[in-house]
Amino acid sequence: MYMRWLLLILLSTSLYAQNWEVHIPILSKHLLTQTFWYDMNVTNDMVCNGSTCTRQSEYTNLNPGFILYRYHKDFKIGGGILRNSLGELSYIYGVGYEYKNAGIEVGLATGYEKQTGADPIMPMYSIYYRLGILKFILNHEIINIGLSARF
């Protein structure tokens, strides 16, 4: 279902769009916290409440994926799929603005339900700087590095 929306958005922009950006996220690093809490339906844990236990896990730093943006002048719209820092599959959709090699992106992301207290669809935001084919992204507490080409 999520991929249909992405295709609809990208195809609807093709009449007036100027170029594309392909971004392949590779690595990420959480700057403040290194672990997250999640609920499991097991009873052999010390932190249990009935049949649900809360466990702690570490974020994963390898986040392969594929994100495609369609540009109109300096504005862009797009989305993609990636393995998030919880180790789950995420679909992301967003818009952005780029001036020279720096920009901002805002949108929505799925795939964070595993984390205790997280919603099925969460807002995302980031600032970035592009240096050649490398793209350095910073959001609320994560720095990401990926390969990016605009053509």
Give the pLDDT confidence of 101-116 residue by residue, as tens digits.
999 999 999 988 877 6
The two structure tokens encoding residue 137: 């992204």
- pTM: predicted TM-score of the whole model, two decimal places: 0.76
Where along the chain do its domains lie? 2-33+60-150
Q: Residues 6 or more apart from 122 whose CB is under 8 A from it?
A: 108, 109, 110, 112
Q: Is 96 helix (H, G, I), strand (E, B) or coil?
A: strand
Structure confidence at residue 150 as a pLDDT band (50, 70, 90): confident
The kind and range of the H/E element at 44 are none
Q: Rounded to whole angstroms, how far apart are CA atoms 71 and 5?
A: 17
Query: Of 75 and 151, which is predicted with more confidence?
Result: 75
Q: CATH topology for 2-33+60-150?
A: Porin (2.40.160)
